Amino acid sequence: MRTMDRLSQRGLRLIPRRELDEYIIQQRRVLHSIPELGFELTRTIAHLRVALAEMGLEPRAIGGGLVADLGARGPLFAWRSDMDALPIQEATGVDYASTIPGQMHACGHDAHMAIALGLARHFTMGGATLPCRLRLIFQPAEELAQGAQRMIAAGVLEGVQAIGGLHVWTQGSTAVPSAVFGSRVGTLMASCDFFEIRFSGLQTHGASPHAGTDALLAACQWVSALQTARYSAADPVHAAVLSVGMIHAGTAPNILPQEAVIRGSARATNLGDRERIEQKARRLAEGIGLATGTDVTINWNRMIRTTVNDPHMVELAQAAALAAYGEGAFLHLDQPCLTGEDFGEYLENVPGVMVLLGCGNVGRGITMPLHHPAFELDEQVLPRAVGFVEELLRRWVIGRNPVEP
């Protein structure tokens, strides 16, 4: 049956590509204005349900998220997008800015969802032929590093034979030019652990430090010494970083506090480095506690595993980008990124690939990093993802069923 006949039977209208591009941008702006956190995604999921139903799809809830299946035959490929935002007060000044105080899509998840909706629209109303079955995954709680695990446990990967995902990119140690797809074989993104180190002492007057035990002094010593853990634990040729983002202590300038709490993150691109960094950081804290007479409580939470791309899927992604957009459309990254992504949980179960899409634009002042209150992206680049994924699916299916000579 011709595409036009199928659409007519379902009451849908064939849309031109230009209209699809506008649709992706419009959806991104709507979703940008209603950011929600973690698993509390009521408005976001309601919007997605309506958008998918308008295409004749039947989305279903699973693991706190949403999935929509397209196609009736062939192997099953999954494409993952994430839905949650960040607890950041937006400072972009755009007319589609967040309408929820203290919450913002500062990591591009609004764009990821809009791209997934664009894919659905492309294959249901755009006249494109879907070469296989496609499962669109809308995942919660990526920022909490919990969403992927919950969806996998609920069965989102049942029957899935490969998976892909995309992250918009504007800056960082890994530079991806505007409108270019970037990825690499093996580790693309780092593991990420969150830690909380609590030093407890004896509160005293600032004029009498000898009468107490200064927890803040102990905490400061640990922070100052922390980088030695990375230096002495990680292989020098492997990327790794330790960052302290929070220190809480004290109630007045003339009181030495009883307690000081440090929170931060540890990132590594190598499993052995990850283990050794934690061990060294723990021993440092314990040693400083003994030296200063403070009690130490250490909570080290393993949050995100490394994101490790399948070599064959990376080859397909590179070929797809070049076929869709020509020479220079794909950049093979020399080094992993030190950002973390729970997409690695999917890759532990099925072969797949995550790619970065350069969405910065220096000429338009779009240079702010991810998780910045003024983070923005070049929306005109987003529709390129549709052509990329279409070509990726086609090449994946051909690779599974090579034509006999």
Report pLDDT digits (tens) over 172-205: 545 899 999 999 999 999 999 999 999 999 999 9
Helix axis angle for 42-53 and 109-125, nearest 10°, is 20
Q: Which CATH number fits domain 3-189+306-400: 2.60.120.1440, 3.90.180.10, 1.10.240.10, 3.40.630.10?
A: 3.40.630.10
Report pLDDT digits (tens) over 277-324: 999 999 999 999 999 999 999 999 999 999 999 999 999 999 999 999
Indicate the average pLDDT of the chain. Answer: 93
CB atoms within 10 A of CB 77: 25
Q: How far is CA 145 from the centre of its chain?
A: 9
Does this model's pTM top 0.85? My answer is: yes
CB atoms within 10 A of CB 64: 20
Report whether pLDDT(3) > 50: no
Fold category of 191-304 in CATH: Alpha-Beta Plaits (3.30.70)
As a whole-number percent, the residues of the chain with pLDDT over 70 amount to 95
Report pLDDT digits (tens) over 4-31: 444 544 556 677 778 999 999 999 999 9
Among residues 128, 204, 182, 206, the alpha carbon closest in space to that of 355 is found at 182
CB atoms within 10 A of CB 252: 9
DSSP letters spanning 200-249: E-B-EETT-GGGSB-HHHHHHHHHHHHHHHHHHHS-TTS-EEEEEEEEEE
Domain chopping of the chain, boundaries: 3-189+306-400, 191-304
CB 84 within 8 Å of CB 41: yes
pLDDT of residue 90: 98
Range from 6-10, 33-37, 130-134, 311-315 carrying the lowest mean pLDDT: 6-10
The length of the chain is 405
CA–CA gap between residue 244 and residue 267 (Å, rounded): 12
Report pLDDT digits (tens) over 331-358: 999 999 999 999 999 999 999 999 999 9
